[in-house]
Structures are given as C-alpha cells and as structure tokens.
Amino acid sequence: MLKKEKQKITVEIAGRNYPIIVEDGENQSIQTIVQDVNEKIGHFKTTFNRKDSQDYVAMAFLSYSVDQHKSKQESQNASQKDLTDRINHIDNVLDRLIAI
C-alpha cells in the first residue's frame, strides 16, 4: 500500500493562523472547509452581539456538530430501512417457498 505524501499548510480561522498537516490532494478541500467556517463565523458576528470571537467559533463548531449529527442519524436511518427492506424481502421469499 502506498503512503500518501503529507504537507504542512497554515489555515486562518477567525483571524488566527493554525498550522495543520494534510495529505496530498486534500489542500483544496481543506481550504473550502476553512472558507465555509469563516463564513459561518461571519454570519454569527453579524447576527449576535458578542465581543469575544471565541464565542463565534464555538457557535460555528456547535452548528457543524449538529449538522454532522443529523447527517449521521439520517444515514443510520437509511441503512436501517435498507436492512429492514432486505429482511422483509427474504421473509416473503421464504413464505412463498414454504407454501409450495
């Protein structure tokens, strides 16, 4: 298995720089995510009257966490439904075989 090369980049979130290490090919995705995070923080700055930018960062983090949790729940529900449908299909096939 080939190891992916890693590179060190610096991202700016809420006016502060953070060095991170990313795998080759991830840089553009990371930059897009950073832009989205900064836009979310900017939205909270214009919506709420707070003095500490850490509050906006925390609110953005919470917002993304809620979105991720909802996405995870929806994925689990879809998997559960798919499994239930498969079990019901097998049950129907077995019922028909037993009836023969």
Which structural domain, as residue segments, surrounds residue 55? 6-99
Would residue 1 count as lying in a domain?
no
For the chain, where are the E strands, in sequence order? 6-13, 16-23
Give the span between the Cα atoms of 10 and 19, in whole angstroms.
4
Would residue 57 count as lying in a domain?
yes
Cβ(4)–Cβ(24) below 8 Å:
yes
Instruction: Supply the pLDDT for residue 1.
Output: 58
The tens digit of pLDDT for each residue in 7-55 reads 999 999 999 999 999 998 899 999 999 999 999 999 999 998 877 888 9
Give the span between the Cα atoms of 14 and 35, in whole angstroms.
10
DSSP H stretches of helix in 16-100: 27-47, 53-99
- Domain count along the chain: 1
Q: Is the pLDDT of residue 2 over 70?
A: no
The tens digit of pLDDT for each residue in 44-98 reads 999 988 778 889 999 999 999 999 988 888 888 888 888 888 888 888 888 788 8
